[in-house]
Amino acid sequence: MAKLIVGLGNPGKEYQKTRHNVGFWSIEQISEELHVATPKEKWRSLVSESMVHGERVYLVRPLTYMNVSGEAVRAAMDFLKLDRPNEQLLVIYDDMDLPVGKIRLREKGSSGGHNGIKSIISHLGTQEFPRIRIGVGHPSGDVPIVDYVLSRFAKAELPLVGDAVVRSAEAAIEFCKTPFPLVMNAFN
C-alpha cells in the first residue's frame, strides 16, 4: 500500500526559512534520511519517491501555496488511487499553538484554524487523516499572525526547531511501517 507524506509550506525562496515552511523542512529531512533522488514536479507539487519497509512512499511539497494545499493533495491521491487518507496520508505542518520545538501527532481533527489543513479537509471531504504538527510558537503583543508565520525563527529558536524537524521526520518514516496509534505513542 502506497503512502503519501505531505509537508506544507509556500514555494519560493522568500518563504524558504519561514515558520510556515517547517513542513517543507521535514520533507527535506526525510529525503536526506532515505537518500531519495531530486524531486520532480508533478501533481502541482515537488515529489520524490522511496521504498520504506516494502512500501512505496511519496514525499510531497505542494507548489500551490499554503491556503490551497488541498488541490495538490487531492491531485496526488487521485492519481495514485489512494482512497484511505486515514491510513495512506500523513500531513506535516506548522502549529502556532505549540511552543517552538515541540511536535504533536494526531490521527484526525479539525483544522485548528490552519488554512492549509482547512484546504485539505475541504478537498478530501474528511478530517480523518494523520498529521504531525511542529510547534512554531505564538506571536507576542500585536504582531499580526500572517506576519508572524511568514517570519524567520530567532537564532535561539533554530536548534529547537531543528530538533523538532528531525523528530517529525523520524515519526514520518515510522508511519510507513507502523500503525499510526503506535507512532503517536512513541513520539507524543
Q: Distance between CA atoms of 136 and 152, rounded to whole angstroms? A: 10
Burial of 87: CB neighbours in 10 Å, binned 0-12, 13-18, 19+? middle
| 188 appears as a binding residue in the annotation | no
Which whole-number Å values give the CA distances from 107 to 67, 78, 85, 186, in the listed order?
A: 21, 21, 10, 14
| 10 appears as a binding residue in the annotation | no
**From 20, 53, 123, 138, active-site residue:** 20
| Closest by CA position to 162, among listed 59, 8, 17 | 17
Residue 71 three-state SS: helix
Which whole-number Å values give the CA distances from 127 to 27, 68, 117, in the listed order?
A: 22, 16, 9
* Helices assigned H by DSSP within 46-151: 69-80, 85-88, 115-124, 145-149
Contact 163, 25 (CB under 8 A): no
Active site residue 35: no
Residue 168: how many CB atoms within 10 A of its CB?
A: 28
List, as residue ranges, the binding site for tRNA: 15, 65, 67, 115
Q: Catalytic residue positions?
A: 20
The binding site consists of 15, 65, 67, 115
